[in-house]
Structure 1
Amino acid sequence: MSANALTRAFPKALKEVRLHLCQTGQASAGARKFLETNYKPIKQSNPDLPFLVREASGTPARAFARFERGVEKHVELDGLSSADVEKKFGELLAASA
């Protein structure tokens, strides 16, 4: 998913995004960098979409997406670079199609 894709509105079927990560762990470094770089553009393009960040010590980095009818999908982000996290995030959003 390109940076431009993150600045566009996400699918209407997407109801919530949750990002779980460790605030200090090396395995979550890519997820933290992705969040620092992309949170603001995502929220500017999707102001009404709940985008929740859950930080907890030792938590593996994962992203969850909740779609219409309670369908929930997730991707593992632990140990990935920021660019790889962005790709996985794109795959997660594409799951709504």
Structure 2
Amino acid sequence: MSSFAKALSPALREIRILCCQSAQASAGTRYVDKGSLSMIADSNHHHSQFIVSEYSFIKKHNPDLPVLIREATGTPARVFARFERGVEKHVELDNLSSSEVASKVAQLLSLS
């Protein structure tokens, strides 16, 4: 079950995930090991795309929340959260393991 399988703070206005589709530094953002995380969408796969699996959970429980995914060559892996009154926070995800990525994203989204 995803740790994102609940409504997020009403103060959260937007999530933007940026990463490179081929760089090793973005690998933890793109892929999640089944054993390293409790937030895998499909437990039948040994590897699941982090973005794809978490996007469906977030949108299911927060259908009106914009979740933007931007992949571009050379882009450092990071996630941005925009809160009410234009407050924006972000965390860098380059060179982190998949479990570290999940932890950082969960911490960021719990801010308000």
Query: Per the alignment, in what secondary structure is the counterpart of residue 11 of structure 1?
Result: coil
2:24 aligned partner, one-letter code:
Q
Distance of 1:46 and 1:6 partners within structure 2: 10
Per the normalisation by structure 1, the TM-score is 0.91
1:48 aligns to 2:48 (yes or no): no
Q: CA deviation at 1:94?
A: 2.1
Q: RMSD between aligned alpha carbons? A: 1.1
Q: Percent identity of the aligned residues?
A: 57
Alignment of 1:23-42 (within 5 A): 23-33=21-31, 34-42=50-58
Alignment correspondent of 1:77: 93
Would you say how many aligned residue pairs link Structure 1 and Structure 2?
Answer: 94
Unaligned runs of 5+ in 1: none
Alignment correspondent of 2:8: 10
2:13 aligned partner, one-letter code:
K
Richer in helix (by share): 1
Per the normalisation by structure 2, the TM-score is 0.79
Alignment correspondent of 2:81: 65
Query: Per the alignment, in what secondary structure is the counterpart of residue 63 of structure 2?
Result: coil
Which has the larger Rg? 2
Distance of 1:20 and 1:80 partners within structure 2: 14
CA contact (8 A) 2:18 2:77 kept: yes
Unaligned runs of 5+ in 2: 32-49
1:77 aligned partner, one-letter code:
L
Q: CA deviation at 1:70?
A: 0.1
* Divergent runs of 4+, >6 A: none
